[in-house]
Amino acid sequence: MAILEIRNVSKFFGGLAANSDVSFEVNEGMIMGLIGPNGAGKTTLFNCITGYYPPSKGEVVFDGKRMNGLQPDKVCKLGMARTWQKVRPLAKMTLLDNVMVGALCRTNSLKVAREMAMEQIGVVRLEHKAGFLAGGLPIGERKKLEVARVLATRPKLLLLDEVMGGLNPAESEDIIKLILDIKAQGKITQMVIEHDMKAIMRISDRIVVLNSGEKLAEGEPQEIVNNPEVVAAYLGTE
Amino acid sequence: MKSFNNRLASIRGAGTVKIVGVIAVAAILFAFPRFVESPYALHMMILFFLSTLMGSSWNIIGGYTGQYSVGHAAYFGTGAYTTMILLTFKDIPPWYGVWAGVAAAVVVALVIGTICFRLRGPYFVLASIAVAEIIRVTALNLTDLTKGAEGILLTDIPPFMIGDTILTDFSSKVPYYYISLVLALLMILVTWLVQNSKLGYYFQAIREDQDAAHSLGINLTIWKNAALVISAVFTSLAGSFYAIFVKFIDPTTVLPLDLSVQIVLISIIGGIGTIFGPVVGALVLVPLSEMLRSNIIAQGLINSGLVSAESATGIFLKEHLAHAHVLIYGILVVIVILFMPEGVLGFFRTIVARKRKGAA
Ligand SMILES: Nc1ncnc2c1ncn2[C@@H]1O[C@H](COP(=O)(O)OP(=O)(O)O)[C@@H](O)[C@H]1O
Ligand SMILES: [Mg+2]
């Protein structure tokens, strides 16, 4: 069953079509990979889906509800949470407080929020950093903070925007394991933007390829690597 | 995990020390008028409490929520005018009037919030100034209600009674001392409650990154307005208190941009987004403005022999330094921003932390 339907979504910035007529569905429980060269419109699509700005055309349906025009806070409450490609830590708050802000989406009690937050901090294995200011953490840990913080909002659909960008191989491996663990638990559907081809091929059940704002291809990882158009798009821009 | 629990424990320990400290200081302050009768000393203490109240009120919206309102005179003036108009024209005693003032300030806050919170950063600052100026000009021109530039003079205050017993007839500074002390302590308590609840987490999240906060389920309009309303309520109480204490208000004393700036400075100089920052800010600013007013600084420079009383500089300083408070505040802010970005309180905290590290 589709938890997310993207129907003919376009987004224009002045004359530039950052997304044009993109359609696809994400089924419950799966990991959907979203790839494409830099500037293909991946982040823009995340922004349209999560209400950061409304799509210029088309619609986004989540869990049977039409999302167009809903503000990000409503979208989060409905169970869709995203991380940011350019990390956005709440710098002068501790790691624990950052994750608690996520948890407070589901509770009014600081005590409950603290327990929920510690649980997610455990999931990303940063217990020893819980009391540190978020702004002072190295990039790898700030990426993990983002993941713990959105997990604490108890999402049904998780949108991860290049969470492995800037990480060393060991840290990337941690994140891959984390994404696969989440899938194994079966409660959260994931859509993942990633530049590392090996990683995305390994984790995705299906992949959508964007190029210059348009959907270039969609299919299982094997189909995608063997698709001449996809290969050309990547070779053409490298 | 262990080090984290230790850290939590030491934070809690520090909390207990702080609470005991606050209670001890509060006890001394409550006893103070029994030992000190000097009206001048009481007057200075009242100004200190009032500044603490104003700075801490602003701290909720500016310090915790990061929305730099430079229009808080609007709420101060709304409280002052509402209380004063009800008292002088309708004979409604101030202990009812202040609540009308609070209600009016909440309405003003929600109107200003709806207009200004669409804007971010410097645009928000400019809008908050503009709206407060509109209110000042309105008060200046609504002469039927406010007497305009002439101002409202209070001739007598009804005694404060419960049933038939007169609690006080406001003939000395002592009742004002206790009222302002209680208001300041109440505001510190409110700040503590905010900091230790969902409010504090959401306010600070908005301050640190609006877009991230928004995407984590925080409705920006609701929570920013909540912060502004809390801030406006206590700023309005400060205004009402000021009106009754000074017994004269006009648009240039309770609604000017000057006042809005001073309210911001209390918090910025002390340290924004902390419970005691505004207290420290008031401790710095109240004596400073008193020294400027009474020309102690110019006299000091002359007495110390640095500047001769007969020289052009000496004469200039004597005549003008008292009126140069805005300039001096400006210099002070530059110094604080350059050398103490976390405010005076933050500056000393860093020094203490460094010393501890050195010792360990
Ligand atoms: N807010 C914006 N205003 C104008 N142009 C934008 C904006 N956001 C993105 N773009 C443009 O849209 C295109 C797609 O960007 P983006 O979605 O960030 O790509 P990707 O995430 O795939 O690298 C780029 O050409 C980018 O410059
Ligand atoms: Mg991107």
Tens-place pLDDT, residues B153-201: 888 777 777 777 777 777 788 899 999 999 999 999 999 999 999 999 9
Residue A172 inside a domain? The answer is no
Instruction: Report, as an integer, the average pLDDT of B294-305.
Output: 75
- Cβ pair B204:A84 closer than 8 A: no
Instruction: With a cut of 50, list the residues of chain A below it in pLDDT.
Output: 237-238
Instruction: Report, as an integer, the average pLDDT of B13-42.
Output: 86
The finding on whether A51 has its CB within 6 A of some atom of ligand 1 is: no
pLDDT in tens, B196-249: 999 999 999 999 999 999 999 999 999 999 999 999 999 999 999 999 999 999
State the complex-level ipTM: 0.93
Which one of A50, A100, A110 has the shortest CB-CB distance to B215?
A50
Q: A99 and A26, same structural domain? A: no
Provide the shortest C-alpha distance from residue B184 to chain A (in Å).
26
CA B65/CA B232 separation, integer angstroms: 14
Contact B258, B115 (CB under 8 A): no
Q: A15 and A71, same structural domain? A: yes
Q: Lowest mean pLDDT of A31-40, B100-109, B309-318, name the range.
A: B309-318
Q: A232 and A118, same structural domain? A: no
Closest ligand 1 atom number to CA of residue A53: 1
Contact A134, A93 (CB under 8 A): yes
Residue A3 has a CB neighbour count (10 Å cut-off) of: 21
The answer to whether residue B267 scores a pLDDT higher than 80 is: yes
Residue A174 inside a domain? The answer is no
Query: Ligand 1, from A44, A47, A163: best to mutate by most atoms within 8 Å of Cβ?
Result: A44
> Searching chain A, which residue's CA lies closest to the CA of residue B197?
A110
The answer to whether residue B141 scores a pLDDT higher than 50 is: yes
Q: Which of A130, A122, A91 is nearest to B3 (CA)?
A: A130
Token pair, residue B276, equals: 């005691």
Token pair, residue B10, equals: 């030491």
The answer to whether residue B1 scores a pLDDT higher than 50 is: no
Q: A161 and A50, same structural domain? A: yes
Instruction: Give the residue carrying structure tokens 């200011």.
Output: A133
Q: A9 and A59, same structural domain? A: yes
pLDDT in tens, A135-158: 999 999 999 999 999 999 999 999
Higher pLDDT, B312 or A203: A203
User: Among residues A154, A189, A210, which one ends one of the domains?
Assistant: A154
Q: What is the pLDDT of residue A236?
A: 61
Instruction: Report, as an integer, the average pLDDT of B312-327.
Output: 74
Instruction: Report, as an integer, the average pLDDT of B67-88.
Output: 94
Residue A210 inside a domain? The answer is yes
Provide the shortest C-alpha distance from residue A188 to chain B (in Å).
17
Token pair, residue B85, equals: 């108009």
Strands (E), chain B: 152-153, 160-162, 165-168, 248-249
Residue A48 inside a domain? The answer is yes
Contact B259, B154 (CB under 8 A): no
What does residue B51 show for φ and ψ, rounded to 5 degrees? -65, -40
Q: What is the pLDDT of residue B14?
A: 66
Q: Which of B10, B201, B216, B349 to mutate to test the interface with A (most CBs of A within 10 A)?
A: B216
Interface of A with B in 87-126 (CB under 8 A): 88-93, 97, 100-102, 104-105, 108, 110, 113
CA B253/CA B259 separation, integer angstroms: 8
Q: What ranges do the domains of chain B cover?
A: 1-35, 42-255
The answer to whether residue B4 scores a pLDDT higher than 60 is: no
- Cβ pair B215:A52 closer than 8 A: yes
Q: Which of A1, A99, A3, A88 is nearest to A49 (CA)?
A: A3
pLDDT in tens, A42-67: 999 999 999 999 999 999 999 999 98
Which residues of chain A are within 8 Å of residue B211 when distances are taken between CB atoms? 52, 72, 84, 88
Q: What is the pLDDT of residue B6?
A: 54
Q: A161 and A150, same structural domain? A: no
Q: Which of A48, A53, A94, A104 to mutate to test the interface with B (most CBs of B within 10 A)?
A: A104
Map residue B36 onto helix, strand or coil: coil
Nearest ligand to the C-alpha of residue A39? 1
Average pLDDT, chain B: 88
Q: What is the pTM of this model?
A: 0.91
Which one of B4, B202, B208 has the shortest CB-CB distance to A92?
B208
Task: Give the B-side interface with A, CB within 8 Å.
Answer: 1, 3-4, 7-8, 196-198, 201-202, 204-205, 207-209, 211-220, 273
Which residues of chain B are within 8 Å of residue A73 when distances are taken between CB atoms? 214-220
Q: Which residues pair with B168 in a beta bridge?
A: B160
Whether A52 contacts chain B with CB within 8 A: yes
* Count of the separate structural domains present in chain A: 2
The answer to whether residue B360 scores a pLDDT higher than 70 is: no
Residue A65 has a CB neighbour count (10 Å cut-off) of: 10
Q: A161 and A69, same structural domain? A: yes
Q: A162 and A70, same structural domain? A: yes
Instruction: Give the residue carrying structure tokens 């004359």.
Output: A15
The answer to whether residue B88 scores a pLDDT higher than 80 is: yes
Q: A161 and A56, same structural domain? A: yes
- Cβ pair B216:A77 closer than 8 A: no
Nearest ligand to the C-alpha of residue A161? 2
- Cβ pair A73:B197 closer than 8 A: no
Residue A171 inside a domain? The answer is no
Residue A175 inside a domain? The answer is no
Q: What is the pLDDT of residue B13?
A: 62
Q: A70 and A12, same structural domain? A: yes
Contact A17, A11 (CB under 8 A): yes
Residue A224 inside a domain? The answer is yes
Contacts with B194 (C-beta within 8 Å, 6 or more apart), sequence order: B60, B64, B200, B203, B230
- Cβ pair A101:B202 closer than 8 A: yes
Do strands A2-13 and A16-27 pair parallel, antiparallel, or not at all (unpaired)? antiparallel
What range does the domain containing A137 cover?
Answer: 80-154
**A196 CA → ligand 1 middle, Å:** 20
Q: What is the pLDDT of residue B91?
A: 86
CA A212/CA A36 separation, integer angstroms: 9
Contact B154, B147 (CB under 8 A): no
- The domain that holds A193 is classified in CATH as 3.40.50.300
Q: A138 and A98, same structural domain? A: yes
Instruction: Report, as an integer, the average pLDDT of B97-111.
Output: 96
**pLDDT category of residue B331 using cuts at 50, 70 and 90:** confident
**pLDDT category of residue B2 using cuts at 50, 70 and 90:** very low
Nearest ligand to the C-alpha of residue A213? 1
- What is the SS3 string spanning chain A? CEEEEEEEEEEEECCEEEEEEEEEEEECCCEEEEECCCCCCHHHHHHHHHCCCCCCEEEEEECCEECCCCCHHHHHHCCEEECCCCCCCCCCCEHHHHHHHHHCCCCCCHHHHHHHHHHHHHHCCCHHHCCCEHHHCCHHHHHHHHHHHHHCCCCCEEEEECCCCCCCHHHHHHHHHHHHHHHHHCCCEEEEECCCHHHHHHHCCEEEEEECCEEEEEECHHHHHCCHHHHHHHHHHC
Residue A88 inside a domain? The answer is yes
**pLDDT category of residue B52 using cuts at 50, 70 and 90:** very high
CA A50/CA A76 separation, integer angstroms: 8
Provide the shortest C-alpha distance from residue A117 to chain B (in Å).
13
**pLDDT category of residue B312 using cuts at 50, 70 and 90:** confident
Q: A68 and A13, same structural domain? A: yes
Q: What is the pLDDT of residue B18?
A: 81
